[in-house]
Amino acid sequence: LDVITFKMKQSFIAKSMLSLARGLTSSRGHALQCDGRSTVLFSSSSTTDKRLFPEELNIIYDSKCNVCKLEIDFLARRDAEKINIGAPKLKMTDIEDEYYDPHDPANGGITYEQGMSAMHAVTADGKIVKGVPVFSLAYERVNLGWLFKITTWPVFKQLADAGYNLFARYRTKLTRGASVDALVAEYEAKKALQKKMDLDDCELCKTK
């Protein structure tokens, strides 16, 4: 009788652990792994499930700025053809592309005006980076991080930030012959016109 009771208790414990494991798996994405001696809690979800894109950094740039384009092309080539062949770590997104969508999570909500005012990037886990740190992270991904290492030192960081902010303020005037405000106004007018044309096309389709 004692033996039967002991076996019944073992069976009850095993069923309880299995039920608990199923509950944890469904409610929190975890499971219980039993090896007969201990019970280990582990995550069943992969970190890749939370990534916004396969690469590590999405750089949002202005393709109509020759200086910007030159640097982006250099980084893209080095990344894809020399350092991270077959698995690039840099994603390049042109803010001047007609299909650019600031609402896409991969673009971090960066508007046209924000992107034109300063360099921005979004990490695969959704963090937004702005200014000099963008270059530091980008060059680090292509094994040239040492070029911007000095910009992380307190005194030099302040100088680098001040220098970049000054360049960013006048960048579009120097490279595109217009202020950020003028380019934003032109961009918004173009978008408004495109929206009106789309609505007109839609109304035309309804009449047919």
Walk along the chain (208 residues) and give the pLDDT tens digit of each residue. 454 444 454 555 555 554 544 444 444 443 333 333 333 333 333 444 689 999 999 999 999 999 999 999 999 999 999 999 999 999 999 999 999 999 999 999 999 999 999 999 999 999 999 999 999 999 999 999 999 999 999 999 999 999 999 999 999 999 999 999 999 999 999 999 988 888 877 766 666 6
Q: Could you give the CA distance from residue 27 to residue 8 in angstroms, rounded to a whole number?
A: 29
Q: Could you give the CA distance from residue 20 to residue 42 in angstroms, rounded to a whole number?
A: 14
Question: Residues 169-197: pLDDT tens digits?
Answer: 999 999 999 999 999 999 999 999 988 88
Q: Is 79 helix (H, G, I), strand (E, B) or coil?
A: helix
- Judge contact between 122 and 128, C-beta under 8 A: yes
Position of tokens 């408004």? 192
Q: Could you give the CA distance from residue 208 to residue 203 in angstroms, rounded to a whole number?
A: 9
Q: Could you give the CA distance from residue 106 to residue 157 in angstroms, rounded to a whole number?
A: 27
